[in-house]
Amino acid sequence: MYIKQTYIFLFLIIVFACNNTSSNKVELQFSNQVIKIPTIDFAASNPGMIKMYNSDSGEHVMIYNHVSKILQISHFPSGELKLNIPLEFESEKRTKRFTGGTLIAKDSIFVTFYPPAIGMMDFKGNLIWEKKLPQANYRVSHIGNGSMIPLFMSNERIYGAQPFLMDHHRMTSSDIQDQQLVYSIGLTEEESAWHDVYYSTDYWENGKKLSYFSWSKREDYIYIAPFYDHEIQIFDTKTNQVVATREVKSSYVNRFNVVNDLPENEEKSVTETLEADQYETFIYDEYRDVFYRIFLPGYSIERDFEIDRLRLMERSRPLTGIMVLDSELNILAEHVFELYEVHSSDNFLVGKDGLYVSTNNMNCSDYSDDTMSYRLLQLIF
């Protein structure tokens, strides 16, 4: 690991602050350092599954290495590898497929599988127990967990998300209220359940929007933030019910992607995704008691690109913005980063000093596939 000092002149910091809306109640400010961490064992430089954890020995990051098919825990920001965790599961490996892992306790990792099940494993990779998910009232073709939809432990239960509307093109608006989005499994009892959490009744009022969400937990509540809707639902893990909803609209998100019919081809599908607005990762910052809602303003595709370039732009969007919300979901600040300034997807890390934002946009000229790159975003209240 090395830290590259990038001296940011005062006027750049001022410009950064002034680019936010005048109603901002906090100032957003980058630090003057770029943190670069070499990847290990061909891991992705923008891992699809990554999370920062604090321990007695400092801050660490756990990632899923999709090449080696292992979980890796490294010290942050030194990048020193601390542990490789195998995911073979011995004789079970041919009958189940690993779909995600969340470090919940200091010595336990909770994992999801397909066919739908949750398991708990230790740091040696041993599967300690496993429980199947209950039968849903619709066909569930996938469950997973990761940076955007981690598993949560609350009130002696493990909670997971299933954010897709299955069978999108053959569904009607009324079918949305038949597809539950949240499940849980008891740690001390055999009881497991799907809960009555759905996309809003008017979700498809203006056309068939796509489906996905990110979520975060604060105290006993899980906050469910859809990619293609402004409304955030608040789910109480004590009662297993949605107890409140709140519209949290970015001034930069005005037109969601509507897919009423199958796209003519992949190029058209990806272009329509890039040109539409949406939200993305939703993160709780326990150190500052705020939420971050990442959003992706649409980017006009004004010339022809090869499909591989379009896919790359979809994976690492040209424009990315961030909302800062207080504990009541009031908007404290909004900011849109410069073109290709940050990586738009999963790679946001909450640390003691602030939010580490990946600057390793895959369309930028200095993108590296063997180095993770971050800048620290701080809130000035």
Tokens read off for 39: 């990847």
Confidence at residue 31, expressed as pLDDT on a 0 to 100 scale: 84
Per-position pLDDT tens, the chain of length 381 = 444 333 333 333 333 443 444 468 999 998 878 999 999 999 999 998 999 999 889 999 999 999 999 999 999 999 999 999 998 765 555 567 899 999 987 778 999 998 889 999 999 998 998 998 988 888 888 899 999 999 999 999 999 999 999 889 999 999 999 999 999 999 987 789 999 999 999 999 999 999 999 999 999 999 999 999 999 999 999 999 999 999 999 999 999 999 999 889 999 999 999 999 999 999 999 999 999 999 999 999 998 899 999 999 999 999 999 999 999 999 999 999 999 999 998 899 999 999 999 999 999 988 999 999 999 999 999
Confidence at residue 236, expressed as pLDDT on a 0 to 100 scale: 98
Strands 278-285, 290-296: pairing kind: antiparallel
- Could you give the CA distance from residue 378 to residue 380 in angstroms, rounded to a whole number? 7
Rg for the chain (alpha carbons), in Å?
20
The helix/strand/coil state of 284 is strand
The helix/strand/coil state of 280 is strand
Confidence at residue 1, expressed as pLDDT on a 0 to 100 scale: 44
Q: What is the DSSP string of 133-174?
A: PPPPSS-------SSSS--EEETTEEEEE----TTGGG--GG
| Residue type present at position 326 | D
The whole-model pTM stands at: 0.92
